[in-house]
Structure formats: C-alpha cells, structure tokens
Amino acid sequence: MTNHFHLLATTIEPTVSQGMQYLNGCYGQWYDWRHGFEGHVFERRFWSALVETDDHLFEVARYILLNPVRARLCETAVDWNWSSYRKTMGVTTKGPELSTMILYSFGRRVQRARVNFAAFIREAE
C-alpha cells in the first residue's frame, strides 16, 4: 500500500500497542534517515481488532491480501510483491509466509491447501 500497511499478528501477551509503537518508531526513524526526511512517516495511529474465530481470521487474511487489488495497485493478490501470499503460494522462496495454521485449514497437504486457499481468495476478487 502506498500510505499504510496491514499486519496480521498473534501475541502471547496483550502488548500490541507497545509492539506497534516500537515497530513504527524504529521504521520511521530508519525511513527518515534513509530518505533524508524529518517528522512523522505515518499519518495516523495504528488500528487493531481482536480476532476470535477461525472464520474471522480467514476473512481478515483475505481482506489484507486483496487490499492492493481493490486499491488497483495490482491485478491479483499474487502480483503484489510485498505480501506473504507469494511465498505462501510457492511463487517465491523470499519474504514472509502466511501462518501454516491458516494455510493447512484449507487442506492437509500443502498443494491441496494452496489450491483451496487460492480459490478462497479469488472468490472475493
């Protein structure tokens, strides 16, 4: 995304606020240093929501993966280079990967899970 990012994370302790403050603060300082800027990198405070069911988890994952498609930054979820979807689908070996817990909810074997998960994502494109 050009002005924000999405992150789906699990925490053991309820420390999301501290973690986001640290992440955004460190990234903001690096970004300003790297590009010779000063001031805030992010316009607004982060927003979070508690995910309590598997269905909600899957919908949040799909929302995140389709966000750049809906913003017309790419044609399909697999086209977005800064997503975990490419590695999860086996398109690349680089970058982050979606939790295997989510992927294997769509099938017991990795290839079947990938096919089913890709269909789930495409349903909402």
All structural domains of the chain with their residue ranges: 8-48, 54-123
pLDDT band at 1 (very low <50, low <70, confident <90, very high): confident
pLDDT band at 66 (very low <50, low <70, confident <90, very high): very high
Comparison of pLDDT for 10 and 59, the residue scoring more? 59
85 in Cβ contact with 98 (< 8 Å)? yes
> pLDDT above 70 covers what percent of the chain?
100
Instruction: Kindly state the average pLDDT of the residues 89-95.
Output: 88
Smallest CA-to-CA distance from 98 within 57, 46, 70 is with 57
Task: Compute CA distances 17 → 45, 92, 121, whole Å.
Answer: 10, 32, 29
pLDDT digits over 93-122, tens only? 888 888 888 999 999 999 999 999 999 999
